[in-house]
């Protein structure tokens, strides 16, 4: 049983007072998650919420471990894709939990990417006013982004993430080996968020990514685990200082203003979230220079790293007025100004209130495609 004794590579603790929880980062550790989940949740049952492909591939070792730890286990499968993240699927899951006899001693375990985590987390947050929640992310984006912050929720026909909650997991269990089956494009999308965390907060981590990007992207355990841990630690620090998203946490929206607009305008089909954010970051860096917040050189350095990761950096060619319209419906606006995140340098960001017309220069996106 050498495998069972193999320690996890890294443990990071997210500090949120009585809602604090650990993130355990390992390699080939899925079969070891059961006892850790039992210990973190004190549950006697577990509902594993997943999508068909991930469930087939990774459900069995996780569930065997849970059963060995003494839990009754049921797998609840939702259809693939962002379209599952809605109130109807949540209602289906409530019904399935009731059929399973789930009470407050039942853990909800999200096995999969961001969609599964958001949907399962919303159900965990609201079923019986909250049951213990565990995340087992299997995409790099979910590992780097969704595993810290407690944002859970579903979409409405009118827009994404319009209904949700802030709800912390009891444990995040990351098995990096699950990334071996992740398509390269989705892997790059996850790198985008890790690069974002470095760009807004940690010049040293940014330099490390510049030195080791190919090793991280190639899933070499040590550099990947180290980079992911630091990336999660940055998000954890920002979130723990501002759990309910009043101020500092806005920094995490770096690249998201334009990114969301791009996702909206392309109907969430053409770009992965991380890709849209990569374009948004490259653009925000260019604007940071142009508006005098950052020195020249910041934008090209960021763009180069994003491109080495295989990410797009040029905004798609929608009319400027379509972009302006998309910015104006951003749900975070409180008035006509948008709190736009600019870089001061690589490793330091700031929120500034700007009008949509100030964010988007004249002749955008043509000018952005050239200048970036």
Residues at the contact surface with its own copies, assessed by CB under 8 A: 44, 87, 91, 94-95, 98, 103-105, 125-130, 151, 153, 156, 158-159, 161-166, 244-245, 331-334
Least distance (Å) between residue 335 CB and its own copies: 8
Find residue 352's DSSP bridge partners.
Answer: 340
Pick between residue 92 and residue 301 the one whose CB is nearest to its own copies: 92
- 308/333 with CB nearer its own copies: 333
Nearer to its own copies, 151 or 273 (CB): 151
Q: Active-site residues: which are they?
A: 129, 151, 193, 235, 245, 249, 253, 256, 260, 273
Q: Are strands 171-175 and 21-26 parallel, antiparallel or unpaired?
A: parallel
Is the distance from CB of 191 to CB of 311 less than 8 angstroms? yes
Q: What is the DSSP letter of 82?
A: G
Nearer to its own copies, 127 or 283 (CB): 127
Sign of CA dihedral 26, 10, 310, 272: positive
Q: How far is the CB of 95 from its own copies (least distance, A)?
A: 7
Tokens read off for 118: 């958001």
Q: Where are the beta strands (DSSP E) in 220-345?
A: 338-345
Quickly list H helices, 202-220: 203-217
- In the complex, what is the shortest distance from the CB of residue 331 to its own copies, in angstroms, rounded to a whole number? 6
Residue 149 Cβ vs its own copies, minimum distance, rounded to whole Å: 11
CA dihedral sign, ordered 335, 337, 338, 339: negative
Instruction: Report the C-alpha gap between 289 and 271 in whole angstroms.
Output: 26
């Amino acid at each position: 049983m050498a495998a069972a004794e193999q320690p996890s590579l890294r443990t990071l603790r997210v500090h949120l007072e009585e809602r604090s929880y650990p993130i355990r980062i390992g390699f080939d550790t899925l079969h070891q998650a059961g006892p850790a989940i039992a210990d973190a949740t004190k549950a006697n049952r577990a509902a594993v919420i997943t999508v068909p492909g991930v469930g087939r591939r990774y459900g069995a070792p996780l569930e065997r471990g849970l059963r060995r730890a003494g839990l009754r286990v049921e797998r609840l499968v939702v259809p693939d894709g962002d379209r599952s993240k809605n109130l109807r699927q949540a209602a289906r899951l409530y019904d399935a939990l009731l059929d399973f006899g789930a009470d407050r001693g039942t853990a909800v375990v999200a096995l999969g990417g961001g969609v599964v985590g958001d949907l399962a987390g919303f159900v965990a947050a609201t079923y019986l006013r909250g049951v213990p929640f565990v995340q087992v992310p299997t995409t790099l984006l979910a590992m780097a982004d969704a595993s810290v912050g407690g944002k859970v929720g579903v979409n409405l026909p009118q827009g994404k993430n319009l209904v949700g909650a802030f709800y912390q997991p009891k444990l995040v269990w990351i098995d990096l080996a699950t990334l071996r089956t992740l398509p390269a494009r989705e892997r790059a999308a996850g790198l985008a968020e890790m690069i974002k965390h470095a760009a807004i907060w940690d010049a040293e981590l940014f330099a490390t990514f510049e030195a080791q990007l190919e090793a991280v992207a190639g899933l070499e355990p040590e550099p990947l685990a180290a980079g992911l841990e630091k990336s999660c630690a940055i998000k954890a620090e920002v979130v723990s200082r501002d759990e309910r998203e009043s101020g500092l946490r806005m920094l995490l929206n770096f690249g998201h203003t334009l990114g969301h607009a791009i996702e909206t305008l392309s109907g969430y089909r053409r770009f992965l979230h991380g890709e849209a954010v990569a374009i948004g970051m490259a653009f925000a860096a260019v604007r940071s220079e142009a508006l005098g917040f950052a020195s020249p050189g910041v934008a090209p350095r960021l763009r180069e790293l994003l491109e080495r990761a295989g990410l797009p950096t040029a905004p798609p060619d929608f009319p400027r007025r379509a972009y302006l319209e998309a910015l104006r419906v951003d749900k975070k606006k409180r008035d006509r100004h948008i709190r736009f995140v600019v870089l001061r340098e690589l490793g330091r960001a700031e929120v500034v209130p700007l009008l949509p017309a100030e964010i988007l220069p004249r002749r955008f996106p043509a000018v952005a495609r050239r200048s970036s």
